[in-house]
């Protein structure tokens, strides 16, 4: 491969890493994969002697724009399409001890939302626990893989109902429940539009509901479902949003905060407190039921 092409990809990789949440080397490799297919660019590079000479051409500018866009879409897809089945098998087959913990952590790291919390997990739970009192029942909506990192030893629950529409997440949680013997944990594949039949007894009210990194997603993707979420059968509701966008290196805390507060106002939730973790903005609400 030409040195000039590699140098250009190095530079663009670094530029993309500033914009999106991807290491510069990974971005550079993605750029090179795409550029290998671009005959006009390869020809231009072969006929040029300096980076500058290439960089000022229309062909290069188009190639840079196209590949940056492709990297963005690839990052989004990559985060959504990793198969977890082999990792779940690994967890199920693991012996108790280090191997089992390694399999659990591999799953956790593979889910963007939980992976982002791993560097400050204790701090995260300390924050949450400050606000939730001593709940004995917890409803986790759009739970992702949070049940895999719940501090079971410190805080015992009678019932932990974890719901998500992702088959992968629910299969993972089910395997975790069985392997680790967490009998209080119950999990179901569930979409908001399925409503609350899933909880069984319709007069049951949870002490706390978690909607972590969830409400702004719903507000963007299916705002008509917010009214159902507003009817959550729980007395206290803890809602968080992300500080940084999933792919772009962009501070979105103000936008997420506004989205959560608009939801709460619309649904008549009373704000009790606000908190922050390194990657989340959080709010504690009371629901008067
Ligand atoms: C950004 S993740 C947050 C996961 C988890 N709450 C956390 O903070 O680690 C959002 C989750 O919401 C789930 N989700 C999105 N729309 C949903 C819907 N309409 N019904 C149920 N779950 C949904 C996704 O599958 C995903 O697991």
pLDDT at 81 over 60: no
Domain that holds residue 43: 3-81
Residue 66 within any structural domain of the chain: yes
pLDDT score, position 134: 83
pLDDT score, position 83: 79
Residue 204 within any structural domain of the chain: yes
Q: Which pLDDT band, with edges at 50, 70 and 90, does 12 fall under? A: very high
User: Which residue's CA lies nearest to atom 20 of ligand 1?
Assistant: 191
At 201-245, the pLDDT tens digits run 999 999 999 999 999 999 999 999 999 999 999 999 999 999 998
Are both 54 and 161 inside the same structural domain?
A: no
pLDDT score, position 246: 79
- Give 274 Cα–ligand 1 centroid separation in angstroms: 21
| Nearest in space to 125 (alpha carbons), one of 142, 109, 147, 110 | 147
Are both 149 and 257 inside the same structural domain?
A: yes
Are both 278 and 239 inside the same structural domain?
A: yes
At 95-130, the pLDDT tens digits run 999 999 999 999 998 888 898 899 999 999 999 988
Q: Which pLDDT band, with edges at 50, 70 and 90, does 288 fall under? A: confident
172: Cβ below 6 Å to ligand 1? no
- What ligand 1 atom has the least distance to the C-alpha of 114? 9
Are both 223 and 167 inside the same structural domain?
A: yes
Q: Which residue has the higher pLDDT, 289 or 27?
A: 27
| Nearest in space to 67 (alpha carbons), one of 49, 47, 41, 87 | 41
Indicate the number of domains in the chain. Answer: 2
CATH number for the domain spanning 221: value is 3.40.50.150
- What ligand 1 atom has the least distance to the C-alpha of 222? 19
- Give 228 Cα–ligand 1 centroid separation in angstroms: 15
CA distances from 238 to 25, 71, 257 (A): 38, 34, 13
What is the reported pTM? 0.84
**Three-class SS of the chain:** CCHHHHHHHHHHHHHHHHHECCCHHHHHHHHHHHHCCCHHHHHHHHHCCCHHHHHCCHHHHHHHHHHHHHHHHHHHHHHHHCCCHHHHHHHHHCCCCHHHHHHHHHHHHCCHHHHCCHHHHHHHHHHHHHHHCCCCEEEEECCCCHHHHCCCCCCCCCEEEEEECCHHHHHHHHHHHHHHCCCCEEEEECCHHHCCHHHCCCCCCEEEEEEECCHHHHHHHCHHHHHHHCCCCEEEEEEEEECECCCECCECHHHHHHHHHHHHHHHCCEEEEEEECCCEEEEEEECCC
Residue 265 within any structural domain of the chain: yes
Residue that finishes a domain, picked among 33, 62, 81: 81
- What ligand 1 atom has the least distance to the C-alpha of 146? 9
Residue that finishes a domain, picked among 37, 66, 81: 81
pLDDT score, position 179: 97
């Amino acid at each position: 491969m030409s040195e000039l092409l590699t140098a250009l990809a190095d530079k663009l990789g670094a530029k993309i890493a500033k914009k999106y949440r991807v290491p510069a080397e990974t971005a550079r490799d993605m750029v090179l994969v795409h550029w290998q297919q671009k005959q006009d660019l390869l020809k231009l590079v072969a006929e040029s002697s300096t980076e500058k000479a290439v960089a000022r051409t229309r062909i290069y500018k188009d190639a840079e724009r196209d590949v940056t866009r492709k990297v963005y879409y690839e990052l989004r897809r990559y985060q959504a399409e990793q198969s977890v089945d082999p990792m779940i098998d690994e967890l199920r087959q693991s012996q108790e001890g280090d191997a089992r913990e390694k399999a659990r952590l591999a799953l956790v790291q593979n889910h963007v939302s939980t992976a982002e919390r791993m560097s400050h997990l204790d701090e995260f739970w300390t924050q949450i626990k400050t606000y939730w009192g001593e709940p004995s029942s917890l409803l986790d909506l759009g739970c992702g893989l949070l049940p895999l990192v719940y501090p079971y030893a410190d805080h015992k629950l009678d019932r932990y109902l974890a719901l998500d529409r992702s088959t992968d997440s629910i299969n993972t949680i089910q395997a975790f429940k069985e392997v680790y013997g967490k009998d209080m944990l119950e999990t179901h594949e569930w979409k908001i539009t399925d409503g609350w039949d899933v909880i069984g007894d319709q007069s049951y009210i949870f002490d706390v509901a978690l909607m972590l990194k969830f409400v702004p997603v719903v507000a963007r993707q299916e705002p008509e479902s917010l009214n159902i979420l507003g009817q959550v059968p729980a007395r206290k509701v803890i809602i968080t949003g992300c500080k940084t966008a999933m792919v772009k290196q962009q501070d979105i805390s103000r936008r997420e905060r506004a989205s959560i507060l608009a939801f709460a106002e619309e649904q008549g939730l009373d704000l009790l407190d606000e908190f922050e973790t390194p990657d989340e903005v959080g709010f504690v609400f009371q629901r008067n039921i």
